[in-house]
Amino acid sequence: MTPTETRRRELPFWLIAAILLAIAFGLVIGADASYRIIFRAVASGIWVTVFVTVIAYAFACLIGLGIASAGLSRHRLLREVATFYVEIIRGVPVLVLLFYMAFVAAPVMVAAWNLVTAPLQAVGLIEPASIRDFDLLWRAVVALVISYSAFLSEIFRAGLQSVDRGQIEAAKALGLSRFKVFRLIVLPQAFRTVLPPLGNDFVAMIKDSSLVSVLGVQDVTQLGKVYSSGTFLFFETYNVVAYVYLLMTVSLSLAVRGLERRLQRHRDFIGDRR
């Protein structure tokens, strides 16, 4: 089979169809005045969606890596705590966790803060905190961080366990400390292994970030809901909302697939050299 025939067979026709559909709908938005108004109304919430997704995912990755490391620890207490956290959090739906954080955990946290800082409040150094000081946006971010950290910890755990044990033992034999073994040997190899599934979960978080609209956070979904309820243009509004999310998720999915192919070529190249 010639290279031209191979490329033709591997040509992603679904991607061509998706691009044509995106271009067609983009032309509709540009030509129709009502769609242009809706797009401008909804587009102002894109930065909120991106902000929530990036911040929540970054902290979820950090916490997830810590939980995965604790789950692989030699100390049984750390392993049990990590397993308890993962199993409990993964069993709670994200939407329920959002409500719990917003209306149960947040008031408790504010009350605890006021209790701890009561002496400082008594002398006038700080003002008593109010539940309104804990913005709904940050309550949503904390809920997403807690939820996704449990799932990401399992990805990190699988990546850490995929590193050849012989390399770890060899590094220890050379006199490297446990921290240096983790930083120089384990983490780089595990990161290459878990990068594709991490990208897939990032795409999933973009979609799950739409759940923050139930708390009134002004993201794409919430702005679409407000606009459609005021104009009764539900069909047009949610077409635009779906279009915005598809642009973000499909673009990131393609980036993740390209990264997977690049990593695979890199592994094949190293294997050939060996």
| Structural domains in the chain plus CATH codes | 17-266 (1.10.3720.10)
Query: In the structure, what pLDDT confidence band is assigned to residue 80 with cuts at 50, 70 and 90?
Result: very high
Q: How confident is the model at residue 55 (pLDDT cuts 50, 70, 90)?
A: very high
| Residue 121 reports pLDDT greater than 60 | yes
How deeply is 269 buried, as exposed, middle or buried, from its count of CB atoms within 10 A (0-12, 13-18, 19+)? exposed
pLDDT > 90 fraction of the chain, expressed in percent and rounded: 28
pLDDT of 271 > 80? The answer is no
Q: What is the mean pLDDT of residues 139-156?
A: 93
Query: Residue 165: pLDDT above 90?
Result: no
Alpha-helix residue ranges (DSSP H) falling in the chain: 3-9, 13-31, 33-43, 46-71, 76-90, 94-100, 106-116, 118-122, 136-161, 165-173, 178-180, 187-208, 220-231, 234-273
What is the reported pTM? 0.84
Q: Is the pLDDT of residue 72 over 80?
A: yes
Mean of pLDDT values over 25-47: 87
Residue 209 above 80 pLDDT? yes
Model confidence band, residue 199 (pLDDT cutoffs 50, 70, 90): confident
Q: What is the pLDDT of residue 8?
A: 55
3-state secondary structure of 160: helix
| Model confidence at 109: pLDDT above 80 | yes
- pLDDT tens column, 188-197: 778 878 888 8
Mean pLDDT of 10-25: 78
**Which of helix, strand or coil describes residue 91?**
coil
Angle between helices 136-161 and 187-208 (to 10 degrees): 140
CA dihedral (119, 120, 124, 129) positive or negative: negative
Residue 87 scores a pLDDT above 80:
yes
pLDDT over 80 at 3, yes or no:
no
Measured from the Cβ of residue 7, the count of other Cβ atoms closer than 10 Å reads: 9
